[in-house]
Homo-oligomer: A and B are copies of this chain.
Amino acid sequence: MRARENGVRLTPVRRRTLEILLEAHGALGAYDVLERLSAEGYGTQPPVAYRALNFLVENGFAHRIQRLNAFTACVHPARDHRAAFLICARCNSVTEACADSFTQAMIEAASAVGFQLERSTIEAVGLCSACAGKPA
């Protein structure tokens, strides 16, 4: 199979991994993904999940959430974008927000101190609108 456009091959494991992320609401750990993959007849060992997830991240189909050691499907995979993530401390939901303007400002601020910024991670923890309404 000739690579789609820029050499991207969305093979069965990779596609299924992406679907698993899409089906999940919020982020999934690599071992959660692995559990599902292996239940469906794919490989049973960690590298299977990590390779597929890393592929998705590198090709803009998913993002890694550092704070949660987890992965989440990108909500607008086609476009080049910088994302920020709003992580609910109560229900663990993860919402992807556009951070293009913040990132641009950060690139400029960083360059003022001589730092040549390549990519940034913005992860915020707080309460989602659903949880903020509820009592403690």
Among A7-15, A24-32, A114-122, the one that faces the other chain is A114-122
Q: In the assembled complex, which residues on chain B have CB atoms less than 8 Å from the CB atom of A105?
A: 102
Is A109 in contact with chain B by the CB < 8 A criterion?
A: yes
Q: In the assembled complex, which residues on chain B have CB atoms less than 8 Å from the CB atom of A66?
A: 66-67, 121, 123
Q: Which of B67, B117, B121, B127 sits near A115, CB closer than 8 Å?
A: B127
Please tell me if the beta carbons of A128 and B114 are within 8 angstroms of each other in the complex.
Answer: yes
Is A132 in contact with chain B by the CB < 8 A criterion?
A: yes
Interface residues on A, range: 20 to 34
- Inter-chain CA distance A132–B115, complex, in Å, is 8
Residues of A within 8 A of B (CB): 66-67, 84, 86, 88-89, 95, 97, 102, 105-106, 109-110, 113-129, 132
User: A86-B117, A106-B124, A114-B129 given. 7 additional CB < 8 A pairs?
Assistant: A84-B106, A86-B115, A97-B109, A102-B105, A114-B132, A118-B125, A121-B123
